[in-house]
Amino acid sequence: MLGLNETTVSIKNIIKASKNVYKYLSPTPLRHYKILSDMLGCELWLKHENHNPTCAFKVRGGINFVAQLTDEQKQAGLYTASTGNHGQSIAYASQHFNAKAIIYVPKNANSGKVAAMQAYGAQVVHFGDNFDQCRAAALQAANKNNGMFIGPTDEALINGVGSYGLEIINDLPDVDLIIVPVGAGSGICGTAIVAKTINPKIKIIGVQSAQAPAQQLSWRNGELIEAQNTTIAEGVATGVPFINTQKIMRKNVDEFLLVDDKDIIKSTEILIKNSHNLIEEASAATFAAAQQIKSQLQGKKVVLVISGGNISMNNLGQLFGVQPRKES
Amino acid sequence: MLGLNETTVSIKNIIKASKNVYKYLSPTPLRHYKILSDMLGCELWLKHENHNPTCAFKVRGGINFVAQLTDEQKQAGLYTASTGNHGQSIAYASQHFNAKAIIYVPKNANSGKVAAMQAYGAQVVHFGDNFDQCRAAALQAANKNNGMFIGPTDEALINGVGSYGLEIINDLPDVDLIIVPVGAGSGICGTAIVAKTINPKIKIIGVQSAQAPAQQLSWRNGELIEAQNTTIAEGVATGVPFINTQKIMRKNVDEFLLVDDKDIIKSTEILIKNSHNLIEEASAATFAAAQQIKSQLQGKKVVLVISGGNISMNNLGQLFGVQPRKES
C-alpha cells in the first residue's frame, strides 16, 4: 500500500526552505545537559524548539508555507485543524504575512494554545472531540468558502521544519541518534531526510504515546491503521495516520517506540526540573523513549527533539499533584 | 557618600565585551505578547534572558570575565558567592575556559541552581543563611588560598551583561521604558548605560521586592542602607547594597519600585501561563512593577527583562497551591 510516490521533501528543498525560515526566525540552541546525560549513560543534548516564537518547531513550516502564497490566496483564507502547535504556527505566519487564518480545534483544546492563536489574530473554531474531526470540518469549510486547506503534513511545512534538522547536524555533526516525537510526522520526516542524506548511520527514532499509536502501528505494519487516541500529550495525539509522512518514515526512520502516558508525565517533570525550560508532554516522550532503550545509548551522542513548550497550566499543575481545575 | 568615581562601565566597553560574549553565546529573543500587552494597555515585550545557557542573563558577564583571565589565574581558583544565577554563570564560564570555580551558596539555596553549578564542574560550598554571609566567606577563602574573588558587581561582569541592553535597543529602537529586576545591580547598570547613552529619553525602572529593599532604599536616599532580606525571589534577594552599582544607578535609573512578594508570585503565574516559558520570580517582579505603574504605560513600548528561568520546583509547585516538599 505504501508505495514510493513522488515527494518534494528533500535536503535540497529543506535548504531552500531554510532561506525563508531564517528571514524571520533564528536557529534554536542545541544544549548539552550533564545531569540528564548521567541519568541515561550517554551524552544527551536537547534541541530547544521550544525557544521558537509560538514555543514550537511548527512555526518554521508555517513561515515557509505562507511566505510563498499569493495575496489572493492569503485573503481567501487559510483553513486548518490543530490540537495546538500547528494552529499557532499558521496563525503566527498568517499574522506575519497578512493572511486570514481560520483554525479548527477540538472542544477540549489546550486553552493556552488557543489563546495564543487568537492573540495572533486567527479565527478559532471549537469543533468535535479530536484532531481528526477538526480536520474534516476545516477541509469542508475551506471548500465551501473557496479558501485554502492546509493539512499538517503539507510538504512545504515539512521542508520548513526540516531546517531544525540542518541545525542539529551543523551543531553536532557526530550525533549518533536523534529521537523525535511524532504527531502528524512533519518533524521526524524533515529530520530524517536531512540526517540520512548527510550520514545514513545516524539512527532516527520516532516516538508516540501508547495511548495514541496509529502512526507507529502504520509504520510497523506498512499500511494505514487507525487507532485509539486518548493520550494527554496533544502534540503526539494522532488517531489517523498520514500517508505522505508514513512513506517518508518507512524509508528513513530506524525505530518507532511507544511510551506510556504515565512515563511521559514523569519525563515531563524530569525535563522541566533539569533543563529549567517549560517543556510539553509530547517533547518529554523522547526522554521516556530514551529511558526505554537506555542500554543501546551508552556512550552515544543522543539528541532529543524538544518540539514544544506549550504545556497547559492544568497539566503543569498535575505534575505537582494538583487536580484539574477549570481553566480561566 | 555616593560620589562619581571612575568606572570602566561604558557603552564602548559593553560593545567590546559583546565581542567576547558573541564568540560563545547567541543573542536572546525580544518577543511581543499581545495578551500581556492587553492586560497592561501597552505594547509589551519580554527580553528572554531565560533562553541563555544557565537560563539567566548573568552568563554573559561570566563569559566576559573568565575569557580575559590568564591560565595562572584560572588555575588558582575563582571564588564567588551566589544565590544561584551568578554562581551558574561563573561555573559555566569556568568549565568553558578550564578554570577552577568554588562557589559559596546559602544553606537553603535553590537546589536546581546548585545542581546546575555542580553539573558545570564547580565546587559548591553551602554556607550561612544568605548571600551576604556567603560573600564574606568566599572572600576569606579566596584570600586564604591565593585565589581570585569575583564580586557580583565586578565591572567586567557588568560590561558583559550589558550586551543584552544593546540587543534590546537594536531590536526595538523606539522602546519607551525598560523595567529591570535588581539583585546586585549588574543587569540594570549595563542596560541603563546603553539606553541612556543612545537615547536619554528611554526610562529605566528598577524593581526589587518589598521584602528585600536594600538597593532601592540606598538608591532613593543616596547612601548605602542595609535592610531585611526575606523575599522568596532569590534573584532580587540582596540585603547589603553595592557601592559601584549604586553609583551607576543613581546617575542612570529613573525610578526604582518595590513590589510585594505576593504580587511577584501572582505575576510569575501570569507570565508562565501567557508566555509558555519557565520564568523565575525575580523576572516576574518586572510585571508586578508594570501593573503598579500601569497608568503611566498606556500606549507605550515597554520591555520587561526576563532575567532568568530558574524557578525551583518547590516554588513552581506552590503556584498551584502545593505545599513545599523536600526537594529530591
Do A126 and A209 belong together in one domain? no
Cα dihedral sign, A235-A236-A239-A240? positive
- In a domain? residue B326: no
pLDDT tens for each residue of chain B, 328 residues long: 455 567 899 999 999 999 999 999 999 999 999 999 999 999 999 999 999 999 999 999 999 999 999 999 999 999 999 988 899 999 999 999 999 999 999 999 988 889 999 999 999 999 999 888 999 999 999 999 999 999 999 999 999 999 999 999 999 999 999 999 999 999 999 999 999 999 999 999 999 999 999 999 999 999 999 999 999 999 999 999 999 999 999 999 999 999 999 999 999 999 999 999 999 999 999 999 999 999 999 999 999 999 999 998 989 988 887 766 554 4
Q: Which three cell numbers stand for residue B75?
A: 588555575
Nearest CB among A116, A309, A321 relative to B277 is that of A309
Distances (CA, A) of B112 to A190, A271, A319, B23, B267: 34, 12, 17, 27, 21
Under 8 Å between Cβ of B46 and B287: no
**A247: phi then psi, degrees, rounded to nearest 5:** -60, -45
Question: In this structure, which amino acid lies at residue B259?
Answer: V
pLDDT beyond 70 at A325: no
**Is the per-residue pLDDT at A327 higher than 80?**
no
Residue B132 has a pLDDT of 84
pLDDT digits (tens, 9 = 90+) for A260-278: 999 999 999 999 999 999 9
Q: Are residues A212 and A291 in the same domain?
A: yes
Do A51 and B35 make contact, defined as CB atoms within 8 angstroms?
no
Q: Based on the domain organization, do B208 and B174 belong to the same domain?
A: yes
In a domain, B248, yes or no: yes
Distance (Å, whole) CA A160 – CA A18: 6
- Cell output for B301: 513600548
Closest CA–CA distance from residue A9 to any residue of chain B (Å) = 30
Q: Closest approach of chain B CAs to the CA of A311, in angstroms? A: 7
Cα–Cα distance for residue pair B14/B20, rounded to 1 Å:
10
Question: Least CA distance to A273: which residue of chain B?
Answer: B313
Task: Decide if A66 contacts A74 (C-beta within 8 A).
Answer: yes
pLDDT band for position A159 (cuts 50, 70, 90): very high
Taking contacts as CB-CB distances below 8 angstroms, the residues of chain B near A34 are: 119-120
CB contact (8 A) between residue B55 and residue A276: yes
Q: State the pLDDT at residue A328.
A: 41
* pLDDT tens, residue by residue, A114-151: 999 999 999 999 999 988 899 999 999 999 999 999 99
Q: What is the mean pLDDT of residues A224-230?
A: 96
Considering the domain architecture, whether residues A67 and A106 belong to the same structural domain is answered as yes
Which among A276, A278, A320 has CB closest to B272? A278
A320–B316 C-beta distance less than 8 A: yes
Backbone angles phi, psi at A50, to 5 degrees: -70, -10
ipTM attached to this prediction: 0.92
Task: For residue B205, give the CATH number of its domain.
Answer: 3.40.50.1100
Q: How many CB atoms lie within 10 A of CB B212?
A: 26
Nearest to A242 by CA among A157, A151, A175, A325: A151
Chain A: closest CA distance from residue B34 (Å): 6
- A119 and B278 in contact by Cβ < 8 A? no
Give the least confident one: A212-216, A223-227, B235-239, B305-309: B235-239
Chain A hits for B311, CB-CB cut-off 8 Å, are 276
Q: Domain for residue B235, yes or no? A: yes
| Structure-block grid coordinates of residue B297 | 504605560
Interval B224-243: pLDDT, tens: 999 999 999 999 999 999 99
Query: CB-CB: which of A31, A309, A322 is closest to B53?
Result: A31
Round to whole Å and give the CA distance between B88 and B68: 18
Question: Chains A and B: how many Cβ contacts under 8 Å?
Answer: 77
Q: Is residue A6 part of a domain?
A: no
Range of the domain at A117: 59-150
**Domain boundary, last residue among B150, B178, B193:** B150
Cα gap B63→B157, rounded to integer Å: 8
> Which amino acid, B292?
Q
Task: Find all residues with CB under 8 Å of B25, minimum gap 6, and list them.
Answer: B52, B53, B59, B60, B63
SS3 B126: strand
- Judge: A29–B53 Cβ closer than 8 Å, yes or no: yes
Name the interface residues of B facing A (CB cutoff 8 Å). Answer: 26-27, 29, 31, 33-35, 48, 50-51, 53, 55, 112, 115-116, 119-120, 269, 272-274, 276-278, 309-311, 313, 316-317, 320-322
Per-residue confidence (pLDDT) for residue B83, from 0 to 100: 83
pLDDT value for A5: 60
Answer yes or no: do B274 and A115 touch at CB < 8 A: yes
What pLDDT score does A2 carry? 52
10 Å Cβ neighbour count for A326? 6
Among candidates A26, A55, A276 on the partner chain, residue whose Cβ is nearest the Cβ of B276: A55
- Which of A27, A115, A309 faces B35 most closely, judged by CB atoms? A115
Q: How far apart are CA B114 and CA B153, in angstroms?
A: 20
| pLDDT given at position B325 | 53
Residue A267: the pLDDT is 98
Strands A301-306 and A43-48, how do they pair? parallel
Please state, in angstroms and rounded to a whole number, the distance separating the CA atoms of residues B226 and B135: 15
**Is residue A90 domain-shared with residue A142, that is, in the same domain?**
yes
User: Do the strands A30-32 and A43-48 form a parallel or antiparallel pair, or are they unpaired?
Assistant: antiparallel
Examine the domain organization and report whether A99 and A166 are in the same domain.
no
Q: Do A133 and A196 belong to one domain? A: no
Amino acid at A190: G
Cα gap A5→A7, rounded to integer Å:
6
Nearest to B119 among A29, A34, A277 (CB): A34
A3, part of any domain:
no
What's the pLDDT at B262? 96
Identify the bridge partners of residue A258 per DSSP, sorted by sequence position.
Answer: A208
In a domain, A259, yes or no: yes
Report the alpha-carbon distance of residue A20 to residue B33 in Å, rounded: 23
In a domain, A1, yes or no: no
Return the amino acid letter for A204.
I
**Which residues in chain A are closer than 8 Å to B32, comparing Cβ atoms?**
none
Please identify which residue in the block is written with the cell numbers 519557565.
B278
In this structure, are strands A301-306 and A255-259 parallel, antiparallel, or unpaired? unpaired
Separation in Å, CA A321 to CA A241, A265, B280, B292: 33, 11, 21, 33
Contact A109, A91 (CB under 8 A): no
Specify whether B101 is located in the same domain as B140: yes
Same domain, B50 and B68: no
Q: Which of A269, A276, A310 sits opposite B112 (nearest CB)?
A: A276
**Which of A75 and A3 is assigned the larger pLDDT?**
A75
Of B150, B169, B193, at which residue does a domain stop? B150
User: How many Cα atoms occupy the beta-carbon half-sphere of B317 within 13 Å?
Assistant: 15
Q: Are B100 and B75 in contact (CB under 8 A)?
A: yes
Q: Give the chain A residue whose CA is nearest to the CA of B24.
A: A29
Distance from CA of A93 to the nearest CA of B (A): 14
Q: Is residue B204 domain-shared with residue B145, that is, in the same domain?
A: no
A134 and A251 fall within a common domain? no
Number of folded domains in chain B? 2
Q: How far apart are CA A132 and CA A137, in angstroms?
A: 9
pLDDT of residue B324: 60
Q: Do A132 and A181 share a domain, yes or no?
A: no
Burial label, B37 (beta-carbon count in 10 A; 0-12, 13-18, 19+): middle
Domain assignment present for residue B1? The answer is no
Is it the case that residue A4 has pLDDT exceeding 80?
no
Of A150, A176, A199, the last residue of a domain is: A150
Distance, in Å, from the CA atom of B215 to the CA atom of B248, rounded to the nearest integer, reads 12
How many C-beta neighbours within 10 Å does residue A312 have?
Answer: 22
Tell me which amino acid residue B222 is: G
